[in-house]
Chain A
Amino acid sequence: MSNANSVFDMNDHIQKEYLELLQSIKKTISKENAELLLDEIQIFWKKREQKIDFILKWLSSEKYVISYFTCATVLDTSGTDYYSFLLTGDYHIFDDPVVFHLGSSTKTDGEFSEYLLNMVIKTIEDNIRILTSYNHFIWVIPIRFLYSALSTIDDIEGKVDSLFLSLFSNITSMDEYFSKCKSVSDIDTNISEVKKRMICLSENERKDSTFIDKMTALKNERTIKMLHLNNDAEIFYFQMKSYFLQSIDTLFTAINANMFPFIRYSPSFLTFQMVSKAFYSSPDTILVVSKSFLNFALYKSLDCENFKDIGMEKYMHIIIKEGYRSELRNFNTIDNNDINFAGIKSIVGRITTDIKDKAMGHKEKKDSLRDLI
């Protein structure tokens, strides 16, 4: 008699149900019914909240063995970028952002709705691709929607404003900030030099970009233009507040869900790292930040194009069979509250070379991916 009804079967069933829902939504979605359909997705997940909770709880008794890909609109499986995501952790979840578009739609005008609709469709298509072709090793679950801990944090607005004010050396209140700063040069004059270098406002910033360069690039972003904010000070505050809120949410969601985040987007990750330091007193925070830093370092350092010819199946066999995940699980990225850059560089370099070498001599294995996972 074969075993059945395992937590994997239970999860597969939910993933299949979700695939069917997304496929039917994709056929009918329009600007007029998008809100209604997104609401249906929210209800779908709310109805299955207890089931997801149960499945994730019983996947493993160990802490932080699930890596989730978060703060992204799509995972994008068309290239090899996401290969590094699969290197750490025993299980992998794409934090489905579709439900979050529902919140955005309420504060936008007609033009943005068109833009939003395209974003929603793009995410739905990406989800369908994962659920169809990568469902044996990546699951689609709206982690932030189900596990967000933001509402449980006292005085979140106050905490965000404190983090924002900590960027300045001589401004101590929000009123003072808005009275002293209007233009980008006002902010540039008041912001601390160290923080200027640490802040990352958009993905393609160069290391030597000045703060003014960073703000100029930000102001040119479509989503910022659509907000019609009054001045540069409001833009900067809006952007940093979004990143701070996202970072605090990510940190506490990760701890609440017993997972560690994979953040690909540089501004989100760098802010996450900056914000997390304020919570280093908790061992869980250190563990989550340590694992997420390793994720980010692997993403930035691992040239996944090297593995393009290997193909996903073979790549997965190699990383699981050769024990890279086990090795990375025990790797400490944070040592005495400092990031172990040298260690990360060394392990990433070795793993890249190793995987390439193994791939050259790798023969097809009989085990299915499902057996390995």
Chain B
Amino acid sequence: MLEHKQDQPGRLAENIVYFARALRAAGIPVGPGAVLDALEAVKAAGVGTRDDFYWTLHAVFVKRHEHSVLFDQAFRIFFRRRGYIDQLMAMMLPQAPAEPHAPQAGATRVHEALFSGLDDKLKKEREIELDARMTVSDREILQHKDFAQMTAAEIAKAKEAMKKLVMPLAEVRTRRLAPNAHGHLIDIRRTLRASMKGGGDFIDLRFIGPKTRPPPIVALLDISGSMSQYSRIFLHFLHALTDTRRRVSTFLFGTRLTNVTRALRERDPDDALAACSACVADWSGGTRIASSLRAFNKQWARRVLSQGAIVLLITDGLERDADDTLAFEIDRLHRSCRSLIWLNPLLRFEGFEARARGIKTMLPHVDEFRPIHSLESIAALVAGLQRGGGAGDPKAWMRKVA
């Protein structure tokens, strides 16, 4: 049973404040307002059982489904026994018995948040172990990639390039209407108000027309070994894009899919890239395009592809096992977005032909197939995006090898 029942209300408040702090450290955004809400909620619910207490706090602190797991772990650790300090000490002691079963999802993050710094040593050993497998490209390689610091000149160049960037299909029409002198509908409200000014003697028509808005962008960036030279510069590009547009979602994939949208929102590019690097476990490993696309289609497509999103697929398309699954998944991706643009760095080679099986499988399903000529230059990437016509038509590449 929980200890707060016997305690004075002051102690309960204190516990909730500490608990909120632990949640914040574990990565759940909990503001001070939520702490006050939690106190009010606990008072309102008049908590009787542990379960009720759990769900009361859950109702206030958790605002996203994926935070439920973190909350659950934090709650277990925090309220497991009397006094969380005792608990902390027990966890710190080296002879504390290890959990017999496999760690649950979210446990690592909460554990790290609560006891950061403690198991650095342990982690290092683990990393060495994993490094031994690096030569096998097909297997998952859990290797953290270190980003070199970006130079000021690079940042300036990236920003300048972004200014010139006009994305294909830059604006889409929405169903919303806005005042527009050349609009096709009469805005009766504004018309009436304007005519009131003249006492209603004559009616001066005002118009409205459809409003346009840049569509959401979803970038799927391949970070496998064969793409390693490019992935860093593309991340800079995506960071700049996230900075200027409102709805940009970024996913990285190698052997597994990672959503780094939130990490890229950091204002400073270096911070953003460091945050990105921290979320990803499979830098420069093998590629499993089909399974990554499958994961995207299943878990994210319905959440980020609404309202006419454009998908930028950035990969060389060198998939080992190009089979029916790949064709099926790329087809599904193509059907669920407004337009699918494939950016392939291999196109910079003069004699490139769409011969690799993976490329041949994916090509019929993309709307545009565009090159990125020079690796280190963002300017070239932007130019590649802007160029229309023949070079972007996937059918031209299909004909060449037919």
Partners in one complex: no
